[in-house]
Amino acid sequence: MQIILLLVWLFGTLVSMQAQTSVKTSLLENPRSITGKVFDKTSSEVLPYVNIILKEGDKFVTGGITSEKGVFQIKNLNLKNYNVDIGTIALKEDPIELKGVNIISEKSTTEQKIDRKIINGGKDLISAGATASEIMNNIPSVCVDPQTNAISLRGNANVRVLIDGKPSNIDASQLLQQIPSASIKQIELITNPSGKYNPEEMSGIINIVLYKNSKIGLNGSLKNGVIFGKHQKLIRLST
By the 8 A CB rule, do 181 and 132 touch? yes
Query: Shortest CA distance to 141 belongs to which of 209, 208, 203?
Result: 203
Q: Enumerate the H helices of 15-167 as residue ranges.
A: 123-126, 132-135
Beta strands in the chain (DSSP E): 9-11, 14-16, 21-24, 33-37, 51-56, 59-65, 71-75, 81-85, 109-112, 117-120, 142-144, 151-153, 159-163, 166-167, 184-190, 204-210, 226-228, 233-235
- What pLDDT, on a 0 to 100 scale, did the predictor assign at position 228? 45
Contacts of residue 15, defined as CB under 8 A and 6 or more positions apart, other chains included, come to: 8, 9, 40, 41, 42, 89, 90, 91
Give residue 55's Cα distance to chain centre: 43
- What pLDDT, on a 0 to 100 scale, did the predictor assign at position 212? 80
- Going by their DSSP bridges, the two strands 59-65 and 51-56 should be labelled as antiparallel
pTM confidence score: 0.45
- What pLDDT, on a 0 to 100 scale, did the predictor assign at position 88? 63
pLDDT tens, residue order, the chain (239 aa): 333 344 333 333 333 343 333 333 344 445 578 888 887 877 788 888 888 888 888 888 888 888 888 888 888 888 888 888 876 666 667 777 777 777 655 556 778 887 788 888 776 666 667 788 888 888 888 888 888 888 888 888 888 888 888 888 888 888 888 888 888 888 888 877 766 666 566 778 889 898 887 653 333 333 344 444 443 344 444 44
Query: Shortest CA distance to 4 belongs to which of 78, 85, 72?
Result: 72
By the 8 A CB rule, do 167 and 159 touch? no
Q: Which residues pair with 49 in a beta bridge?
A: none
Domains of the chain: 32-85 (no CATH), 109-210 (2.170.130.10)
By the 8 A CB rule, do 54 and 73 touch? no
